[in-house]
Chain A
Amino acid sequence: MKEYPWYEIVEGKELLQGDILNSCPLIIPPLTIERIEEVDVIEYDVIVMSQSCDLVQKKLELVLVCPIWTLSEFENKNPTFKSPKMKESLRRGYLPGYHLLNKCEIDAFETDYLVVDFRSVYSVPFDFLLELAQQRGRRMRLLPPYREHLSQAFARFFMRVGLPVDIPPFK
């Protein structure tokens, strides 16, 4: 059976959907804008969510990224996820706000399973992200068809509709 590797290692300024960048700084705007400001900066490991074709053709000024964590970090923050049942539901895609990515076993890039958080989407200036990618050196890139699977999961999360009044459940 043909094997479909999950990741490859790349470097350079070409950004594609599914590229993983470590410690991406994100500036949190203050409540009011003054001439000189002290602003908060937070850092996340992020995965690029914008479509590759838009990135390649430079049709974007801002690139969408979502934070990622290892499954163990995720479990430590919410011990409910230590149960096999919760992990299984995460794997099956029953939790629309999160997406599970496989372990990486490439030398020097070994990771645990990764959890993508669709609820925290940030937009980062394209040029800034290109520069950051260059600075970070070699990085992991999610490969097809898992890249498209991630994109589809994000779309599914985003297109949800909450009804104000639903049909009552069947007893």
Chain B
Amino acid sequence: MMNQLITMEEVTNQDYPIRLQHLSSPSTSIEELDIRDFLANIKVNLVRQNIRSSFYYLRSRFETDQSSIRPYIEIKSGTSSIEELGEDITRIVSEEEIILEMLEQDFVVKMPPKKKYKIQVIVRSIKKGKPRIVEPDEFLIID
């Protein structure tokens, strides 16, 4: 049996979120739209994640001077070690990583006492404790 594909023109439900209309022709099916929308979202998310680290990476690769009306941008002539680049990226990523990791697991460290020994005690009496009433501080009553 052939699948009947609904086209954009046939959609009347206002609640259906159709985006990226510039990508579609009137004959584009809803399924196709969904796929395009999904792929576009993935792309946006990937770009968002990388844009910060890419910016720092690129900035470290160029010498720039934007103080004049003729900005100066040139590839850095000096060499830089891989370690230096690695550190840069680690520093950028680590902040988010730390937060996420800490949220995911709450660390518990069982620390032993500095000293442990036994003593003998004689139980003099066992009685039910009584509540200790702490008098509240005097406070000012304003009429």
Contacts and interface: CB of A to CB of B under 8 A. Distances in A.
Interface of A: 23, 26-27, 33-45, 59, 61, 67, 69, 73-74, 77-78, 80-81, 85-86, 88-89, 92, 94-98, 117, 119-120
Interface of B: 94, 97-99, 101-103, 106-123, 126, 132, 134
A52 B65 CA distance: 56
A38 B119 contact: yes
A61 B118 CA distance: 25
B34 to A, nearest CB: 17
B113 A43 contact: yes
Contact of A40 (B102, B108, B116): B116
Contacts, number: 86
A36 B106 contact: no
Contact of B123 (A33, A98, A119): A33
Given A33-B126, A88-B98, A94-B99, A78 B107 contact: yes
A78 B109 contact: yes
A94 B108 CA distance: 13
Contacts of B113: 26, 42-44, 67
Contacts of B101: 89
Contact of A61 (B94, B99, B114, B132): B132
Contacts of A36: 120-123
Contact of B117 (A41, A44, A61, A77): A41
Contacts of A67: 111, 113
Contacts of B115: 23, 42-43
Given A33-B126, A81-B109, A119-B108, A45 B114 contact: yes
25 contacts: A26-B113, A33-B123, A33-B126, A35-B122, A36-B120, A36-B122, A36-B123, A37-B123, A39-B119, A39-B121, A40-B116, A40-B117, A41-B116, A43-B114, A44-B114, A61-B132, A67-B113, A81-B109, A88-B94, A89-B101, A89-B102, A94-B102, A94-B103, A97-B108, A117-B109
